[in-house]
A and B are shown apart, each in its own frame.
Chain A
Amino acid sequence: MAKYALQRLALAIPVLLGVLLVGFFLMQVVPTDPAIIRAGPQATQDVVEAIREELGLNKPLWQQFGLYMWRLFQGDLGVSIINNVAVTQELGDTIGPTLELMVASLFWSIPLGILMGTLAAYWRGSLIDRGIMAISVAGVSVPVFFIGLLMIWLLGFQWQLLPFTGRGGPLWTMDGIMAIILPALTLGGVFVGPVARMTRTAVVDMLSADHVRTARAKGLNEFLVVLRHALRNALIPVITLIGLQIGFLLGGAVVTETIFSWPGVGRLAVGAILSSDFPMAQGTIIVLSLGFILINLAVDLLYAVLDPRVRLS
């Protein structure tokens, strides 16, 4: 198990380096000159030149990359071109709310998706199955922003039940909980459908497995048969597939945060890109990619926890 975990960790390192490299080159290929933006529209050529010198933009590419890595290593992601705040500081302030939002979204959507998928699988071909699958397909095909806007309009605006702008405070306060409901429903909402469908497929597969017949032959009741011998085994492929969907979750977080003015990394990223704040944009991309890597790592470890064949090999 420890060996497996280390292996996975070792595999994540090249991916991380790749991300950093892409982050660096992203800055090279953008058509705008960061020095000009930093200097402002009225600046003279000399000022721009000076800033370029200061930022090290005149050095050869490999030296710039070395410098970038060296700074990164020291936890220095540069300062915002727009307001001169350290990128790491802004990121530090926004990571918490983003994590909060993701956890709150997954907290309800994954269990619900798994429950729906299992019920659909058990009663496959029935009206229950068709109903659940219709809901899931609808959930998959509707874009995040549409659900978000619909909920804002209905629950926030029309009925005035829930706040829909910004974070209300820490999650242990009532305000904090009220404020996260709509964003978490929106972001989690896109996840329910795919999880339900993947679970259904995996559980249907498992229900016809030989070991499920053995479980029935022992005289177990249907609840135990489904829970311990179909769903329990189906979780292995389901977790894998959920891992593959994490990219969508991060993308969804960017959109959701923007719609609900949620002070997270996603909104920070959008703001930075729109205002050509390159160091900030670079920082957010690195953090989001890091999140992607970490979640996948967590999925790999969970996989080992669920499957003794992986754990003990």
Chain B
Amino acid sequence: MTLLSVENLVTSFKTSAGEVRAVDGVSIAVERGQTLGIVGESGCGKSVLSLSIMQLLAHPGRVVEGKVLLEGRNLLDLSARQMRAVRGREIAMIFQEPMTSLNPVHSIGYQITEAMRAHEPSLSAAELRNRAVAVLDRVRIPSAARRFDEYPHQLSGGMRQRVMIAMALACKPKLLIADEPTTALDVTVQAQILELLRELQAENGMGIILITHDLGVIAEMADRVSVMYAGRVVERSSSAELFDDPQHPYTLGLLGSIPRVDEEKDRLTAIEGAVPPPFAWPPGCRFAPRCPFSIEACTQAPPALREVAPDHAAACLEAPL
């Protein structure tokens, strides 16, 4: 059975400017031991999607349609208490902002043991400490036993993200959602963190949803990829296939915008313009206004996500390209 499958999820925000569907009918699936990459520009709904899965949306955000099936069980049907038992224990999450995601007034040891205590209240203080030190050690925090009593401000950004990962792994979750875990870090640290995630996955077979706007990260990490644009999945395939033979003009644009150190700078062809805000999404294909391939029909109705090659879907009338 698929570890997590999200079906036709719609998340809306009731704002003064009207209802905004930041995630609009998204379906994704992650298998055990595999990494699903979700890629898209800023504002396309990646964070809202992950918070919807965790049911951590802040007011006025609300999931209004769809299913979130964890091993076949719809998380949207759970009570608040049941959902708390899922968070941290079955699905853990690490966030985009390592500098602010830890609480500055509690020691990192406290923050890690807190997660374990929430799900296994029977553990003694000594056991909690041992386990926390072990997991800190596992994410390669040097002299973990001593670091246990330190506070977030005493750690670098990379170290804090390791602590976040340690916290997420403390209860051995089946699925890890990593929302741009390395965006705020510098390149060498970024590589180390990704390497760590890969190792941990190989070790305990968890599924990972890796959210990023960096296709380089996807190429390195993901087994499968869903490309998001303006609240929708516009292309879905294996990672290898996506880089080999992209089928959506937006993906083509993204690929063109990967900075390559080995080629001349002027070969870069970034996509013109930016993702429009949700209240300004056009009625047809949302990418049409920025799309070099767009035709009259593109502005009429939103194109459905359809198979254009075996195990490769794209939401484009022109596909296969």
> Contact residues of A with B, CB < 8 Å?
208-211, 213-221, 224, 228-229, 232-233, 236, 306-309, 312
B154 and A211: CB pair below 8 A? no
| CA distance in complex: A9, B273 (Å) | 58
With CB as the reference atom, state the residue of chain A lying closest to B91.
Answer: A217
Quick one: given A210-B95, A211-B103, A214-B102, are A219 and B86 in contact (CB under 8 Å)?
yes
**Could you tell me the distance in whole angstroms from the C-beta of A222 to the nearest C-beta in chain B?**
8
> Which one of A215, A216, A312 contacts B103 once the chains associate, using CB atoms below 8 Å?
A215
For this complex, 23 residue pairs linking A to B, each with C-beta atoms less than 8 Å apart, are A210-B97, A210-B100, A211-B102, A213-B56, A214-B167, A217-B56, A217-B92, A218-B87, A219-B84, A219-B87, A219-B89, A219-B119, A220-B115, A221-B118, A228-B103, A232-B106, A233-B103, A236-B105, A307-B105, A308-B104, A308-B105, A308-B107, A308-B153
Which of A219, A228, A233, A307 is most buried by chain B, counting CB atoms within 10 A of its CB?
A219
**Could you tell me the distance in whole angstroms from the C-beta of B220 to the nearest C-beta in chain A?**
25
| CA distance in complex: A308, B151 (Å) | 7
A214 and B164: CB pair below 8 A? yes
A218 and B105: CB pair below 8 A? no
With CB as the reference atom, state the residue of chain B lying closest to A233.
Answer: B105
Other than the given A233-B103, A308-B151, 9 more pairs (CB < 8 A) read A208-B58, A215-B103, A215-B114, A217-B87, A218-B92, A219-B88, A219-B89, A219-B119, A221-B118
What residues on B are CB-neighbors of A221 within 8 Å?
A: 84, 118
Indicate whether B48 reaches chain A with its CB closer than 8 angstroms: no
A218 and B118: CB pair below 8 A? yes
**Could you tell me the distance in whole angstroms from the C-beta of B42 to the nearest C-beta in chain A?**
17
With CB as the reference atom, state the residue of chain B lying closest to A125.
Answer: B59
**Could you tell me the distance in whole angstroms from the C-beta of A213 to the nearest C-beta in chain B?**
6
With CB as the reference atom, state the residue of chain B lying closest to A214.
Answer: B101
8 cross-chain pairs, A with B, having the tightest CB-CB distances, nearest first:
A219-B88, A219-B87, A211-B103, A210-B100, A218-B115, A218-B88, A308-B151, A217-B93
Indicate whether B85 reaches chain A with its CB closer than 8 angstroms: yes
Indicate whether B135 reaches chain A with its CB closer than 8 angstroms: no
**Could you tell me the distance in whole angstroms from the C-beta of A267 to the nearest C-beta in chain B?**
41
**Could you tell me the distance in whole angstroms from the C-beta of B183 to the nearest C-beta in chain A?**
14
| CA distance in complex: A236, B104 (Å) | 11
| CA distance in complex: A229, B95 (Å) | 17
**Could you tell me the distance in whole angstroms from the C-beta of A235 to the nearest C-beta in chain B?**
9
Size class of the B contact interface (CB-based, 8 Å): 20 to 34
With CB as the reference atom, state the residue of chain B lying closest to A216.
Answer: B56
What residues on A are CB-neighbors of B93 within 8 Å?
A: 217
A218 and B167: CB pair below 8 A? yes
| CA distance in complex: A211, B107 (Å) | 13
A312 and B151: CB pair below 8 A? yes
**Could you tell me the distance in whole angstroms from the C-beta of B6 to the nearest C-beta in chain A?**
17
With CB as the reference atom, state the residue of chain B lying closest to A217.
Answer: B93
Indicate whether B54 reaches chain A with its CB closer than 8 angstroms: yes
**Could you tell me the distance in whole angstroms from the C-beta of A160 to the nearest C-beta in chain B?**
48
- Do most interface residues of chain A lie in helix, strand or loop, or is the interface mixed? helix
What residues on A are CB-neighbors of B86 within 8 Å?
A: 219
Quick one: given A228-B106, A308-B153, A312-B154, are A216 and B87 in contact (CB under 8 Å)?
yes
With CB as the reference atom, state the residue of chain A lying closest to B107.
Answer: A308
Which of A208, A211, A220, A229 is most buried by chain B, counting CB atoms within 10 A of its CB?
A211
What residues on A are CB-neighbors of B88 within 8 Å?
A: 217-220
| CA distance in complex: A82, B88 (Å) | 73
| CA distance in complex: A278, B115 (Å) | 63
| CA distance in complex: A219, B173 (Å) | 12
With CB as the reference atom, state the residue of chain A lying closest to B104.
Answer: A309
| CA distance in complex: A236, B103 (Å) | 13
| CA distance in complex: A229, B115 (Å) | 13
What residues on A are CB-neighbors of B102 within 8 Å?
A: 211, 214
What residues on B are CB-neighbors of A217 within 8 Å?
A: 54, 56, 87-88, 92-93, 95
| CA distance in complex: A209, B104 (Å) | 11
B151 and A213: CB pair below 8 A? no
What residues on A are CB-neighbors of B58 within 8 Å?
A: 208, 213
What residues on A are CB-neighbors of B56 within 8 Å?
A: 213, 216-217
What residues on B are CB-neighbors of A215 within 8 Å?
A: 103, 114
Beta-carbon contacts of B148-191 to A below 8 Å, as 1s and 0s?
00010110000000001001000000000000000000000000
What residues on B are CB-neighbors of A307 within 8 Å?
A: 104-105
Beta-carbon contacts of B130-159 to A below 8 Å, as 1s and 0s?
000000000000000000000101100000
B115 and A219: CB pair below 8 A? yes
With CB as the reference atom, state the residue of chain B lying closest to A124.
Answer: B59
Beta-carbon contacts of B49-86 to A below 8 Å, as 1s and 0s?
00000101010000000000000000000000000111
| CA distance in complex: A229, B152 (Å) | 14
**Could you tell me the distance in whole angstroms from the C-beta of B207 to the nearest C-beta in chain A?**
17
With CB as the reference atom, state the residue of chain A lying closest to B90.
Answer: A219
What residues on B are CB-neighbors of A210 within 8 Å?
A: 95, 97, 100-101
**Could you tell me the distance in whole angstroms from the C-beta of B75 to the nearest C-beta in chain A?**
13
| CA distance in complex: A218, B84 (Å) | 8
| CA distance in complex: A306, B106 (Å) | 10
Quick one: given A213-B56, A228-B106, A312-B151, are A219 and B100 in contact (CB under 8 Å)?
no
**Could you tell me the distance in whole angstroms from the C-beta of B171 to the nearest C-beta in chain A?**
8
| CA distance in complex: A216, B164 (Å) | 13
A219 and B118: CB pair below 8 A? yes
| CA distance in complex: A221, B85 (Å) | 9
| CA distance in complex: A224, B115 (Å) | 11
**Could you tell me the distance in whole angstroms from the C-beta of A89 to the nearest C-beta in chain B?**
46
